[in-house]
Copies of this chain bind each other. A is one copy, B any other.
Amino acid sequence: MAKEITNRSEDYSQWYIDIVKKANLADNSAVRGCMVIKPYGFGIWENMRDQLDRMFKDTGHVNAYFPLFIPKSFLSREAEHVEGFAKECAVVTHHRLMNAPDGSGVVVDPEAKLEEELIVRPTSETIIWHTYKDWINSYRDLPLLINQWANVVRWEMRTRLFLRTAEFLWQEGHTAHATRQEAEEETLKILDVYATFAEEYMAMPVIKGIKTANERFAGAEETYCIEALMQDGKALQAGTSHFLGQNFAKAFDVKFLNENNQEEYVWATSWGVSTRLMGGLIMTHSDDQGLVLPPKLAPTQVVIVPIPKPAPEIDEVAEKIMRELKDLGISVSYDTDMRKRPGFKFAEHEMRGIPVRLGIGKRDLEKGVVEVARRDTKEKASQPLEGIAAHVQQLLTDIQQNLFDRAAAFRAEKTVKVDSFDDFKAVLDQDIPGFISAHWDGTTETELKIKELTKATIRCIPLDAEEEEGKCILTGKPSSQRVLFAKAY
């Protein structure tokens, strides 16, 4: 199997597609730009979703569900939002099909034209704030801390499995607050949830930062983000949290009576992560043999392979180990397929990124050992049967940590400070460019010029950026702090 994947050094894009397909994560569908998420890929997404959902609930949020469709006129209500979202979208114009008069199949019934077209939600601020108008009257109704797990559609021309698809799955939080301060705190609290999830579960180090005005969400006052670095030296925006100010409250006329009985507009946030995270997960850890998964998100954490095939004495040991691992909350499977040789199975389980493989052979059993192979480093070792479950448990923790450390070391190596535009371009011309920390004069004009010249964009102004006097790499104008540039997905 492994030979079927392109090497990263040869063609990174093709390597990515190969992993997605050969590891059975997703596939293209009959509908342009829409993907099928296959059971194994969906199992990983379920683990991500369940963990995020726990974290949202632990921070006081509840789930709800709002309509798939948005009346066309809603999109025009918020002036900037319409520019950002009322473009490439799926438009429902009719509500009935009929048999074709010539018997050739079904056609749209021209009599069933909708009075107002409906847009398949590209994001739900408008329909949700229309609803919040009915829910909010007084400060007693606030805050509303609501999240929804949903599918959304943005009609993308160039799509890539998980990273950019016309339909994708995501969660979108939409909160309503009585004060600016509370809404700003919420925006940052969620940014922390995202960063914690990315680092502790995905083992993907991220930079927390603020987007420039040019990269801000359409309708937001401030957009915060987490940015990760992929193995090819390109950045991936992994999640965004928006402080919306009173923009949507004003657009949908959502006011509340404060404790002094005065009317005020409500303050808002929105925030989301999507199946795009699957792309980030793949591109952070995987290698030329296939997928590499952090143990905390792997649907199967341990696989046991009988060598060369199942036999009563091997099965007995395997079942004992499985019971012990399950008792520790570790997911494990026993590969009893009689049609495949061990070497073939090893390659398959490597392709699927299963963190730990245990090989059990009769000769090993006589010595009281099993072979333990870890997916991240591909190291193998003989390990005593006695205490094997505890050993594997510790190993899973080590693998989780190692994946994070490895990605963090890569990012550190691929993050450079530069102080001239020549150096800037030189870094971007490398095979694996990475993050560039550089001075910028703060104008959208310069930002766009740099993008035009180099394809690099400002990923964010890092939250932990220190004040530092400097000069814009392009214009030489004064700058008070460095921002983070990169080529990006």
Write the residues of chain A forming the contact surface with B, with a CB cutoff of 8 angstroms.
27, 29-31, 34-39, 42-43, 45-46, 62-76, 82, 86-98, 105-106, 108, 117-120, 127, 130-131, 134, 140, 146, 150-151, 153, 155, 167, 169, 339
Contact = CB atoms under 8 A, between A and B. Distances in A.
Given A31-B69, A34-B69, A65-B42, A95 B106 contact: no
Contacts of A46: 63
A487 B272 CA distance: 45
23 contacts: A27-B131, A27-B134, A29-B66, A29-B67, A30-B127, A31-B67, A31-B118, A36-B64, A36-B131, A39-B62, A39-B146, A43-B63, A46-B63, A69-B167, A86-B106, A87-B96, A89-B97, A91-B108, A92-B93, A93-B108, A97-B119, A108-B117, A151-B151
A130 B131 CA distance: 38
A94 B120 CA distance: 11
Given A30-B74, A91-B96, A92-B92, 15 more contacts: A30-B67, A31-B70, A37-B64, A39-B146, A67-B167, A68-B120, A69-B167, A75-B97, A86-B97, A88-B96, A91-B93, A91-B97, A93-B94, A108-B117, A120-B120
A71 B167 contact: no
Contact of A120 (B27, B82, B88, B92): B92
Contacts of A140: 339
- Tell which of A29, A88, A140 has the most Cβ of chain B within 10 Å: A29
Closest 9 CB pairs between A and B? Answer: A34-B67, A39-B62, A37-B65, A76-B105, A91-B94, A95-B155, A86-B97, A93-B93, A86-B106
Contact of A127 (B29, B86, B117): B29
Contacts of A39: 62-64, 146
A97 B43 CA distance: 36
Contacts of A65: 36-37, 42, 45, 169
Given A42-B63, A74-B30, A95 B89 contact: yes
Nearest to A77: B105
Contact of A68 (B34, B146, B339): B34
Contacts of A43: 62-63
Contacts of A96: 87-89, 91, 155
- Tell which of A98, A105, A339 has the most Cβ of chain B within 10 Å: A105
A89 B93 CA distance: 11
Contacts of A119: 97
A106 B118 contact: no
A110 B73 CA distance: 17
A168 to B, nearest CB: 10
Nearest to A299: B62
B95 A92 contact: no
A31 B119 CA distance: 11
A339 B72 CA distance: 41
A87 B97 contact: yes
Nearest to A40: B62
A364 B288 CA distance: 70
A183 to B, nearest CB: 19
A49 B355 CA distance: 30
Contacts of A169: 65
Contacts of A70: 31
A433 to B, nearest CB: 34
Nearest to A66: B36
Contacts of A72: 97, 105-106, 108
Nearest to A90: B92
A90 B118 contact: yes
A105 to B, nearest CB: 4
A108 B117 CA distance: 8
A334 to B, nearest CB: 15
Contacts of A153: 68
- Tell which of A66, A98, A153 has the most Cβ of chain B within 10 Å: A66
B68 A167 contact: yes
Contacts of A67: 29-31, 34-36, 167
A334 B153 CA distance: 41
